[in-house]
Chains A and B, each alone.
Chain A
Amino acid sequence: GGIITQTPKFLIGQEGQKLTLKCQQNFNHDTMYWYRQDSGKGLRLIYYSITENDLQKGDLSEGYDASREKKSSFSLTVTSAQKNEMAVFLCASRYAEQFFGPGTRLTVL
């Protein structure tokens, strides 16, 4: 078995601030993902990475950067937080089926 950890669990930021979310997995999976989930909505793909140092844009990549410097970790940066933004950011990794982390809940004041 394995686990995906996301840090921090809660993130409060100010408008215009650059914010970084981190994700670690010990499944030894090649592919990792970042999704955004707004309240009561589905999951929208922000970035994914099929191997170390690879980055692929999803449908919602504008306003975000990502980094995959190690196989086990995948970081997401909100380049300029938007006022009153609230969402949960979910990290996932996969071999066949995806496994999800517990999420980072972002609130922008």
Chain B
Amino acid sequence: AQKVTQTQTSISVVEKTTVTMDCVYETRDSSYFLFWYKQTASGEIVFLIRQDSYKKENATVGHYSLNFQKPKSSIGLIITATQIEDSAVYFCAMREFYNQGKLIFGQGTKLSIKP
């Protein structure tokens, strides 16, 4: 069965530092897609970054990058040079290749950036 787990409920870091958020997943499929989304205080949810399971290179978009460790079923999100505006809840999600419709989310990690 498909499952996504984020064990960190909240993280607080000082502005301009680097933070890593953890996510582990379970799937029987050999091919799948992993995503990170951000939910702001207003409730808006936006897509950040994606990793396809067949790609060995870690995805990078702006100051977001991924630490994909397939043998550990782990997809960490790394934010470098954090800014106050990065304060939000971050969700990890997974979609299996052979069940393209179903997208499952983790429980979320609340990130607070302090000045």
Contacts and interface: CB of A to CB of B under 8 A. Distances in A.
Q: Are A and B part of the same complex?
A: yes
Interface in B99-113: 100-108
Chain A interface main SS type: strand
A100 B107 CA distance: 17
Contacts of B103: 33, 45, 48, 94, 98
B85 interface: no
A81 interface: no
A19 interface: no
Given A50-B100, A98-B93, 20 more contacts: A31-B100, A42-B108, A43-B91, A43-B105, A44-B105, A45-B102, A45-B103, A48-B101, A48-B102, A48-B103, A49-B101, A50-B101, A56-B101, A56-B102, A90-B45, A94-B103, A96-B50, A97-B50, A100-B46, A103-B43
